[in-house]
Amino acid sequence: MELAEASIARAAGLNPKLNAFVTMTAELALAEARQAEDEIMRGAYRGPLHGIPIVHKDLYYTKGIRTTCSSKILADFVPDHDATTVAKLHAAGSVLLGKVQTHEFACGASTSSPHFGPCLNPWNTDHVPGGSSGGSGAAVAAGIAYMGTGSDTGGSIRIPAACCGVVGIKPTYGRVSKHGVFPMVWSLDHAGPLTRSVKDASICLDVMSGFDAKDESTVDLPAPGMRDYGDSLKGVKLGIPTEFYYENISADVEAALHAAMAKFRELGAEIVEVKMPMIHRAQGIAMAICLGELSAIHEEWIATRPQDYGPDVRLMLESGKDLPASAYLQAQRARHLVVQDYLDALSGVDALLTPTTPITAPRSGDFEGSLQLARLTMPTNLTGLPSLSMPCGFSPAGLPVNMQLIGRPFEEATILGIGHVYEQNTDWHTRHPAL
């Protein structure tokens, strides 16, 4: 109960500075916390999320609680059912603090809503929190919530994790149900958690995972868990792509990644170079798929309510309308080339080690900077591979830098285990913004 009360008080004190919340549910949180306290005292413990305050990205349907997608179009929409993941997290005993901001309909990396106002970065409120799951990233980094749900179509879990200095995992496509999560792009969307530590990410992912008859893309596999490497990564091989990932990145990001490589070597891991000759095609292929499906999802609204979209989202939707069907189909045919590129690169290593974003969090209003944020994350939406974003340093200006561990299909346990060993031997995840 005290934990919920502290989180509610912190949200009330900090949200005016961050604008992370669309809807706060303090009364519900207190009622759920009382129930959790009673159940735990009676010995009816539901697991490690029992009584833990969380937030949901405002794309996740919550029965009886409005789900706006940070848009004018759905400003008053109240679902009559929960998303599958919302129901699972509720069944695990979590306490809902409220619904938090997304970039409008998840269509951007800054979480700067023209309808609800911009969400701001807890490390420096002159900067964006990343997106599109910026509200979850900001709430977790600010110490308001212990976990926030996110969705990831081009990096929307991993980018705010990087900009806010927290942990975010995009699982393998099909690992987590997307039923009841408003779609951005059907074939690229993933759902997953943002948390304060790798272990917390593993716990939350286990709860969220599993087959769902309401989502035909899901697979019937056990929860991934986290591989136990002990305190050494001896025998682990990490691949460093010689193409794409380390090109055109800022000096701050490059320095942090090289320091992370040195730490991995110290922990016993072997660092090897891997070639990825097809990787430069990934972004063009992904954008053709993205624009095609996005415009189809919004076809009715963009025809009847174009004025109700923010200018950046409206531009994306109108661009998608002009995309030839042949370009979309050719992109879907070509994506297997990039998938094979990754599988070949991963065949001799346990994971790939890359930056999450090429730069640290841009300033609010820096449109060009925000456009850069998804460049290194979007390829694994195209391939569906699991990707973990976690802290590995800070810029001289005090902004977080995250690295990305990319694994083979359904091997989340491997990248989480590797990330956990690194995390236990560094202190990046223990640093918090001085709000």
As a whole number, mean pLDDT of residues 105-111 equals 97
C-beta of residue 55 within 8 angstroms of C-beta of residue 130: no
Determine phi and psi for 379, rounding to 5 degrees.
-55, -35
Domain extent listing, the chain: 2-430
Instruction: Measure the CA–CA gap between 356 and 57, rounded to whole angstroms.
Output: 21
C-beta of residue 102 within 8 angstroms of C-beta of residue 109: no
Residue 347: active-site member: no
As a whole number, mean pLDDT of residues 20-45 equals 98
Q: Which residues contact 73 (CB under 8 A, 6 or more apart)?
A: 301, 305, 308, 309
Nearest C-alpha neighbor of 405 from the set 397, 395, 396, 416: 416
Residue 156: active-site member: yes
Q: Which CATH superfamily is domain 2-430 in?
A: Amidase signature (AS) domain (3.90.1300.10)
Residue 202: active-site member: no
Q: What is the pLDDT of residues 237-286, one digit of tens each?
A: 999 999 999 999 999 999 999 999 999 999 999 999 999 999 999 999 99
C-beta of residue 138 within 8 angstroms of C-beta of residue 165: no
C-beta of residue 185 within 8 angstroms of C-beta of residue 422: no
Q: Is the peptide bond before 364 cis (omega within 30 degrees of 0)?
A: no
For residue 281, what pLDDT is reported? 96
Is the C-alpha dihedral spanning 135, 113, 96, 80 positive or negative? negative
* Catalytic, out of 7, 70, 71, 156: 156
Both structure tokens of 24: 């706060």
C-beta of residue 328 within 8 angstroms of C-beta of residue 292: yes
Q: What is the pLDDT of residues 199-234, one digit of tens each?
A: 999 999 999 999 999 999 999 999 999 999 999 999
Both structure tokens of 18: 């961050």
C-beta of residue 346 within 8 angstroms of C-beta of residue 352: yes
Q: Which residues contact 258 (CB under 8 A, 6 or more apart)?
A: none
Q: What is the pLDDT of residues 348-380, one digit of tens each?
A: 999 999 999 999 999 999 999 999 999 999 999
Mode of pairing for the β-strands spanning 95-100 and 21-24:
antiparallel
251-266 and 412-424 are packed helices; what angle lies between their axes, rounded to 10 degrees? 90
- pLDDT bin (cut points 50, 70, 90) of residue 150 is very high
Instruction: Measure the CA–CA gap between 35 and 51, rounded to whole angstroms.
Output: 8
Nearest C-alpha neighbor of 360 from the set 254, 223, 243, 202: 254
* Catalytic, out of 7, 70, 71, 132: 132
**One-letter amino acid of 396:** P
Instruction: Measure the CA–CA gap between 8 and 18, rounded to whole angstroms.
Output: 15
Both structure tokens of 290: 């993205």
For the chain, the average pLDDT equals 97
Q: In terms of residues, how long is the chain?
A: 435
